[in-house]
Amino acid sequence: MAEIRVASVQLAPVLGDYEGNQARVVAAVTHAAEAGAAVVVVPELATSGYAFSSVEEARAVARPAAVALEPWVSAAASSGCIVAGGFAELDGDAVFNSAAIVSGDGVRAVYRKVHLWDRESLFFSTGSAFPPVVDTAVGRLGLCVCYDIEFPEIPRGLALAGAELICVPTNWPDEGRPSGERAMEIVRAMGAASSSRVFIACADRCGAERGVEWVGGSAIVSESGWLLAGPPDTSSSALLLADCDLALARDKRLNERNDVFADRRPEVYRGALE
Amino acid sequence: MAEIRVASVQLAPVLGDYEGNQARVVAAVTHAAEAGAAVVVVPELATSGYAFSSVEEARAVARPAAVALEPWVSAAASSGCIVAGGFAELDGDAVFNSAAIVSGDGVRAVYRKVHLWDRESLFFSTGSAFPPVVDTAVGRLGLCVCYDIEFPEIPRGLALAGAELICVPTNWPDEGRPSGERAMEIVRAMGAASSSRVFIACADRCGAERGVEWVGGSAIVSESGWLLAGPPDTSSSALLLADCDLALARDKRLNERNDVFADRRPEVYRGALE
C-alpha cells in the first residue's frame, strides 16, 4: 500500500454549543481533506465540550449516535475521507463519552470510553467493551479515547487485533511538566507505538474551558515511535498532517531474528496481567 | 518509607574476561555504595561481555548462578547494599542470559531472560518464567533484562506484582535515532514507568565490542515517568544516582477519583492480550 495522509486536528469545542461544534468539526474535516488527508482525527467530545458541571448539562448536548454522527458521515462522503473523533452519546437517559469511526458509507464503529477521567464519572456512564479495530479502504484503524491510552493493555490489544493506525481523540488537561520536556501523554504514545510497531494519531483539544487548560498534545507518531507531526507549538488550533505507509505497521520485524509480536510469550505472561 | 538512593552503573565489560569483569562489577558496586546507594544496578551480561561468536565462547565464560553471584553477595554484604545485574549462567550444557537480585544475605532471585535479542538466540537458552519481584529491606524490586522491557506486558506485570522499582540490566545496541531525540529505549521506560507508577532504573553497558556500539541508555526514571538521572552525556562509564521515595510507587492514585491500577478493566481486556 502507498502512503496515506493522516490528519490530527486540534480545535476548540465550545461547551454546550452542539450546532456550532458540529459546524466546527465539519469545517475541520473538510479543510483537512482538502489538504489531502485520507483519515482525519478530531478531539474527544468534539460535539459537546468537556467541563460539565452536571449530568443534566452533559445530557443536554448529547445525542444518539446516529444523530450526532450524521454530519460526520456527510462530511466524509463529500470529502472522501474517514473521520475518527469523540462525541457525547445519548442512549436513553445514559450519557457516554463515546468515539466513532465513520466513512462516507456510514458509521463503522461506535466505542464507549472504558476508562473515565476524574469528574467524567459524575456525568458519563462507563463503556464495557474493548475498543474497536475497523477495516477501511485505506487500512485498519483502531480507536481509543484519552485516558484509555495510559493503560498499556489498550494500545497493545488494538495492535494485536490488527490496528495499523490507532486514532486517539483526546482532551488532555495540562498538569504541568518539567521544563524542556514533552507532555508525558506524548511520551506514552511514542513508547506504545514503538513497542507494537503501530502508528498513533492523537487529536487534542484547545481553548480553556471553565479554568481547564490543555496540554496541546496533538501528535502523529510513526510505527517506530518517532514524531511525524506535532505537537503544535501552542495550545491553539492546529492541523497536523503526516504521510504514513501503514504497510510498515503490518511488518512487526525488527531484524532478521526479532519480531515484536512473534517474540511475545503469552504463556509466560499468563496470570501476570489480571 | 524515606528515600533510598538508587544507582545505575554504566560500565564496560570485556568479552571473555570473567575474572576482570567480576572485579569491575565489585569495584563499581563498592563505589556506588560509598556514594550512598542502597540499590545498585549493573548491566546485562556484566560478567561475560556480549558479542559472542559461538556458543562455546559463551559457555566458556558462563558459570553456575551460585558461582557467578558469590562475589556479588560478598560485595553486597561488605557494602550493605542490594545488587541487581546480569550474568552468563551455566546450567549443565545450557547457557542462559540471566539476571539476579542479591543482598548481603544471599541470592534473592535468579531470572532467565525470556525475550532474546537477535544473535542471542544462537548462544543462549530461553527462560520460561515471568521475571521476579523480590521483597527487600529497602522496597520491592522487580527485574527484567534489556529487550524484555520492550514488551509492555513485562513492566506492567512486574508493577502489578508489587514492584516499586524495576531494575533493568541492559546492553542496548545503538541503532540510531533522529537528531535531538532521546533513545527510544528510554522513551519506552519513561512511558512504562508513568503508566504503572513505578520507578525504573536501567543500567546500560559501554565499550564497543566487535563493532557493536551502545546507546548509553542508563537512566533512573521516577514513578511519574520523568528522568531523575541520566542518560549520561557520553557512552563512557558513568555512575548515576537518584534518591527515590519508593512509597510513591505504592500509591497508584492520580487524583481524587483516579488510580492507575483500580481503574484497570481486566474483564474488558480479557482475550485482547493473548
- Give residue for cell 501523554: A185
Closest CA to A194 of A257, A266, A252, A256: A252
Strand partners, B253: B259
- pLDDT score, position B156: 98
Query: What topology is assigned to A4-269 in CATH?
Result: Nitrilase/N-carbamoyl-D-aminoacid amidohydrolase (3.60.110)
Catalytic residues of B, which ones? 44, 113, 146
Choose among A156, A160, A191: nearest Cβ to B187: A191
Which of A44, A89, A185, A223 does the annotation list as catalytic?
A44
Nearest 10 degrees: CA dihedral of A231, A236, A239, A244? 10
Cross-chain residue pair A153–B156, CB shorter than 8 Å: yes
Q: Output the nine-digit C-alpha cell for A97.
A: 463519552
CA-based nearest residue in chain A for residue B262: A115
Provide the residue type at B31 as one letter: H
For residue A267, give how far its alpha carbon lies from the nearest alpha carbon of chain B (Å). 9
User: What is this model's ipTM?
Assistant: 0.97
**In chain B, where the domains are located:** 4-269
Q: Output the nine-digit C-alpha cell for B146.
A: 534489556
Helix (H) or strand (E) holding B96: strand B94-103
- pLDDT score, position A1: 54
Among B130, B158, B166, B270, the strongest candidate for a mutation testing the A interface, having the largest count of A CBs within 10 A, is B130
Q: Name every chain B residue with its beta carbon within 8 A of the beta carbon of A147.
A: 258, 263
Cross-chain residue pair A195–B161, CB shorter than 8 Å: no
Which of A146, A167, A202, A206 does the annotation list as catalytic?
A146
Cross-chain residue pair A257–B151, CB shorter than 8 Å: no
d(CA B196, CA B218): 20
pLDDT in tens, chain B (274 residues): 589 999 999 999 999 999 999 999 999 999 999 999 999 999 999 999 999 999 999 999 999 999 999 999 999 999 999 999 999 999 999 999 999 999 999 999 999 999 999 999 999 999 999 999 999 999 999 999 999 999 999 999 999 999 999 999 999 999 999 999 999 999 999 999 999 999 999 999 999 999 999 999 999 999 999 999 999 977 799 999 999 999 999 999 999 999 999 999 999 999 999 8
For residue A20, give how far its alpha carbon lies from the nearest alpha carbon of chain B (Å). 31
Closest CA to A81 of A27, A5, A145, A2: A5
- pLDDT score, position A253: 98
Low-confidence residues of chain A: pLDDT under 70: 1
Q: Is A252 a catalytic residue?
A: no
For residue B112, give how far its alpha carbon lies from the nearest alpha carbon of chain A (Å). 12
CA-based nearest residue in chain A for residue B120: A257
Among B115, B143, B202, B273, the strongest candidate for a mutation testing the A interface, having the largest count of A CBs within 10 A, is B273
Please classify residue B257 by burial: count the beta carbons closer than 10 Å to its beta carbon, then call 0-12 exposed, 13-18 middle and 19+ buried. Answer: middle
Closest CA to B47 of B33, B35, B63: B63
Choose among A115, A151, A272: nearest Cβ to B161: A272
Cross-chain residue pair A178–B226, CB shorter than 8 Å: yes
Choose among A117, A187, A271: nearest Cβ to B187: A187
pTM across the whole model:
0.98
